[in-house]
Chains A and B, each alone.
Chain A
């Protein structure tokens, strides 16, 4: 490409770039509005249902998307219910502990696997991911024996024990990816400064890979907050149930559904993750972008 032909071409392209950007922006907004409507319609309808009385829910007369006599009784009934608050506390305890356990396990392992090549590390890195191939609907039977043998049935500790099987592999994988993208010069510099491996991890890798850690944390949080099969199998007493199974097992009574309370419960159960996301997403994305420019 000669210099002569390039200069006018560039000017034209800058103009078309601008209009291209505008169109891109319009397409973006249109797509996002459509997507938002689709994504938010079910939660909205859940919210509407949760604000209705059961008589209104049962009534087919009117528009189901409108509320005639809004009521908070479904929420007050749940929040005023000690057992439901117990579900909440259980969920929070389990999730926090699982997130901590997960992050400790996967950060340590990912660091070792990404940086300290050793015999079998490659196999292990791949093997970790393959654990997802064994579905929890199969695992719960043998796990019941393990959890039962440890006397942890009907205890949130049983869940803390088994949930990491759901979270650790993917988190380890995220972390391996992040650690691998950190330039090797950094560790060499650290080694020259006399740091040992542990110091290298805590002083360099963890701060630099913070976005990755937050991403993995969010993932672990979401998964353990939403886990369903294991608590169904291991928890039968209401006092140790986490929210998911608690709401389903206590508000659905076979052939009678308390739809209002059920929807209220579902939305309340969604609240903590929403808060976590609202706070951490920014760090997550911001950290990522910063990390990318650094890299």
Chain B
């Protein structure tokens, strides 16, 4: 067994493929005098080797506690993870705990075990938890899951600093240097500035690679844009606040204006299209976690060394950073809930969160503001400091956002999955409707979703 494991590992290393991640069978720790067993389904990390930290932590914790921990890593490609969660919630069987996509926590909240005690201890130790994570996890006054480190990402701008300087005259490295200070022009890094830069780069043949389709990358960045303009589509009860909403109209109009300077088929882009646009060297800017840069480092190093990650632009209502958090929930129908909660508490400890983030090459964002100073973000290169500004740092003067906040989870998850925010822009920019028509459509669509 061990022999197999090592040889497989070697093969994978030399195999140079992305296949390397997540392929190892789940680690099984057979402790003597076992105090039960735990099965977790975690999000299968996109970054090669990104699952290793969780596997190591599971082994370590399992040995300490004499619990047999087995981990499955389930991909969100083809929505397998969401499917598994749906099926398990329906059939009340399956893993003890499972990674949940942002809105699924709310969707299954009545089938998830409250974890307030765990959160209480963690907050006591590490300070305030991310408010978006709280919004997504807390239902009926109870925490229904532990915000995860693994898989949780920000989507700041990954900029080709050379192209941006040459064609738009913006020196992003001076503006957002790799230390905790704001450089010249940082205050002026707004969506208006952004549109101007997008136009200039578009004319030079290096259009920004911003997806406008129905995948999460698209919904997330448009969500941050809307948040920056204070453009809320519904209130906290889910009632549409669209009619006569001037802020929303301004945000949509900006989105429409911006979309004119994007490649013509962004309406069908998926989460990988922006990566490809960056790696192909044809794009001056994408909104993405460092995975795009990491692939470029492997396949197009000349592109990677010209990349610099900076915060998202600000709107009149502030600077918002697109944030896509995963949550680990413990099924209420699970058999070993206490152990499951203990394990989640264990992996959220600072040193363990840091181990997870390190293995993912800095991709993973822990849910605590006090954990945005890991070394990995300072040291990663080329160029050194390229992802220094990837986690949200105090000098960014920004907040994390998730699209469709503050709508209730049930409704928000439908709006999110059906990408209403990108669609309302697309109806104007691609479908030729007026902004008012598109907004009227949006209201009808939401009212329809609220029925039943």
Contact = CB atoms under 8 A, between A and B. Distances in A.
A80 B24 CA distance: 14
Which 8 A-B pairs rank lowest in CB-CB distance, beginning with the nearest?
A77-B15, A58-B299, A144-B87, A258-B18, A253-B46, A254-B46, A145-B91, A255-B271
Contacts of A248: 77-78
Given A248-B77, A256-B18, 16 more contacts: A54-B16, A54-B299, A58-B300, A77-B15, A82-B11, A83-B23, A153-B94, A236-B74, A236-B84, A252-B78, A253-B18, A253-B44, A253-B75, A253-B77, A254-B77, A256-B295
26 contacts: A57-B299, A58-B280, A58-B299, A58-B300, A73-B16, A76-B15, A77-B16, A78-B19, A82-B4, A82-B11, A84-B19, A141-B86, A144-B91, A148-B91, A232-B80, A233-B83, A233-B87, A236-B41, A237-B25, A251-B17, A252-B77, A253-B18, A254-B291, A255-B217, A261-B17, A261-B19
Q: How large is the interface on B (under 10, 10 to 19, 20 to 34, 35 or more residues)?
A: 35 or more
A248 B292 CA distance: 19
Interface in B9-38: 11-12, 14-19, 21-26
Interface of A: 54-55, 57-60, 73-74, 76-78, 80-84, 140-141, 144-145, 148-149, 153, 232-233, 236-239, 245, 248-258, 260-261
Nearest to A258: B18
B107 to A, nearest CB: 14
A238 B21 contact: no
B98 to A, nearest CB: 10
B392 interface: no
B59 interface: no
Nearest to B301: A55
A285 to B, nearest CB: 36
Interface string B261-301: 00000000001101110011110000010011011001110
Contact of B19 (A58, A250, A255): A250
A173 to B, nearest CB: 30
B90 interface: yes
B93 A238 contact: no
B21 to A, nearest CB: 6
A82 B45 CA distance: 20
Interface of B: 4, 7-8, 11-12, 14-19, 21-26, 41, 44-48, 72, 74-78, 80, 83-84, 86-87, 90-91, 93-94, 217, 271-272, 274-276, 279-282, 288, 291-292, 294-295, 298-300
Contact of A249 (B75, B276, B282, B291): B75
Contacts of A58: 276, 279-280, 299-300
A77 B44 CA distance: 20
B8 A251 contact: no
Contacts of A148: 87, 91, 93-94
Given A238-B25, A255-B217, A74 B17 contact: yes
A149 B90 CA distance: 12
B46 A255 contact: yes
Nearest to B87: A144
Nearest to B77: A252
A148 B93 CA distance: 7
Contacts of B48: 253
A257 B298 CA distance: 12
Nearest to B41: A236
A255 B292 contact: yes
